[in-house]
């Protein structure tokens, strides 16, 4: 379904006046869908928002038309709605009469998430798919967003339609001028769709901040931006707090602070108190030195309750040996990685039942 929609978008370039070219994509998509099926949807009439709102409670949406609500944990992956925020508009009142909403559903856009994104509902309802949306889909695909990722991109960044296409192209040109490869750009846009909302000057300043703060060279700056694109647009104050925690509270040297960023940039975006508490347990309770944490930084990202439970279990059976020079050494990373099944059979060399019985004694 996504393929059919995007084929219509590609073939409609001349109609919408899009300057971007991608002959390879056009050839591949055209060979998959018969030209007889390339019928562009008619322009939809303007929506009467007031009338539709009044009919909202009476509107029945078929299960194959409207995207069902996601679990709370899935929603939190994409958005963080403000406290006590309730959506002003329910798309259920409009989806049957809006071609734009129907096409978004076919693309894989999750309308329920957009409903919970402040300011996005009104923006989406004002869009005409032919006039306002197609040119953005074409642009995004031409700069590297795969066709099957377009729905996810719009779900996480519906505000892309407020940006001028020329400005968006300038932001892509900047990345290219900074030696980011097409593959790098694809990863940046798919992992952090909101990157394109930031002006070129802002992105340049943020990349410069990381280069100066962590003493990075050019390739290292690109490495961090590609490894975790969200860190570039993350709250700088939070990164400063974690930088201080890593260097001053946890006692890592400047070179080690940099190495942690290169290996696990997420360390600088997680909750500072949780980060310090994990380090305290790993370093002071389990006796793991800084050098070992640098070589296995993933240990700092483990949930502390899980870390404590597994460590206490290993201690109870005499296998809490984390010194690599001693017999029976167990890698700290292996303690926190994997499922309970993996931990029990591969690390602790015992049964899950034995581990579960031990956990009950901790309650």
What crossing angle do the helices spanning 2-11 and 23-32 adopt, rounded to 10°? 130
- Rounded-to-integer distance, Cα 229 and Cα 224, Å: 7
Inter-residue contact 65 to 105 (CB < 8 Å): yes
Sole residue written with tokens 């000057």: 201
Token pair of 115 as six digits: 């409903």
- Rounded-to-integer distance, Cα 191 and Cα 166, Å: 22
Mind listing the pLDDT tens digit for each residue in 172-213?
999 999 999 999 999 999 999 999 999 999 999 999 999 999
Which residues, at least 6 apart from 356, have a Cβ–Cβ distance to it below 8 Å? 340
Report pLDDT for 92: 81
Token pair of 147 as six digits: 């066709």
The model carries a pTM of: 0.75
What crossing angle do the helices spanning 272-280 and 236-244 adopt, rounded to 10°? 20
- What does the pLDDT average to over 320-329? 96
Residue that wins the pLDDT comparison between 201 and 362: 201
Going by pLDDT thresholds of 50, 70 and 90, the confidence category of residue 93 is confident
CA-CA-CA-CA dihedral for 328, 333, 336, 342, to nearest 10:
-60
Name which of 5, 102, 95, 83 is nearest 47 in CA terms: 95
Mind listing the pLDDT tens digit for each residue in 222-280?
999 999 999 999 999 999 999 999 999 999 999 999 999 999 999 999 999 999 999 99
Report pLDDT for 87: 54
Longest dimension (CA), the chain: 75
Positive or negative, the CA dihedral 264, 193, 234, 272 is: negative
Convert 236-247 to b/e letters by CB count within 10 Å (16 or more is b).
Answer: eeebebbbebbe
Kindly list the domain boundaries of the chain, sorted by start residue: 2-162, 302-363
- 76: pLDDT strictly greater than 90: no
Token pair of 137 as six digits: 């889909």
Report pLDDT for 12: 46
Mind listing the pLDDT tens digit for each residue in 119-131?
999 999 999 999 9
Report pLDDT for 212: 97
Q: Could you give the 3-state DSSP secondary structure of residue 77?
A: helix
Three-state helix/strand/coil letters over 302-320: CCHHHHHHHHHHHHHCCCC
- What does the pLDDT average to over 78-103? 72
């Amino acid at each position: 379904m996504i393929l059919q929609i995007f084929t219509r978008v590609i073939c409609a370039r001349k109609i919408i006046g899009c300057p971007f070219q991608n002959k390879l994509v056009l050839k591949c998509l055209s060979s998959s869908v018969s030209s007889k099926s390339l019928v562009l949807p008619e322009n939809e009439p303007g929506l009467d928002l007031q009338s539709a709102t009044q009919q909202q409670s009476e509107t029945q949406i078929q299960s194959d038309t409207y995207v069902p609500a996601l679990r709370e944990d899935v929603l939190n992956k994409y958005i963080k709605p403000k406290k006590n925020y309730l959506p002003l508009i329910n798309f259920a009142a409009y989806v049957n009469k809006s071609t734009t909403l129907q096409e978004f559903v076919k693309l894989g856009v999750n309308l329920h998430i957009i409903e919970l994104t402040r300011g996005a509902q009104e923006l989406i309802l004002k869009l005409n798919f032919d006039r306002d949306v197609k040119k953005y889909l074409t642009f995004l695909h031409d700069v590297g967003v795969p066709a099957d990722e377009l729905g996810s991109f719009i779900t996480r960044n519906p505000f892309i339609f407020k940006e001028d296409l020329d400005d968006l192209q300038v932001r892509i040109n900047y990345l290219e001028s900074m030696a980011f490869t097409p593959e790098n750009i694809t990863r940046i846009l798919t992992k952090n769709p909101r990157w394109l909302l930031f002006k070129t000057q802002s992105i340049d300043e943020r990349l410069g901040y990381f280069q100066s703060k962590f003493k990075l060279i050019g390739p290292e700056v690109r490495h961090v931006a590609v490894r975790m694109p969200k860190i570039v647009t993350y709250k700088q104050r939070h990164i400063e707090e974690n930088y201080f925690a890593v260097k001053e509270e946890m006692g890592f040297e400047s070179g080690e602070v940099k190495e942690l960023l290169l290996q696990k940039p997420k360390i600088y975006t997680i909750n500072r108190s949780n980060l310090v508490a994990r380090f305290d347990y790993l370093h002071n309770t389990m006796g793991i030195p800084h050098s070992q944490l640098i070589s296995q930084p993933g240990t700092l990202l483990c949930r502390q309750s899980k870390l404590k439970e597994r460590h206490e279990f290993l201690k109870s059976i005499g296998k809490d040996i984390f010194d690599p020079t001693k017999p029976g050494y167990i890698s700290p990373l292996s303690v926190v990685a994997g499922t309970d099944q993996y931990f029990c059979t591969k690390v602790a060399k015992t049964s899950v039942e034995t581990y579960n019985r031990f956990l009950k004694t901790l309650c």
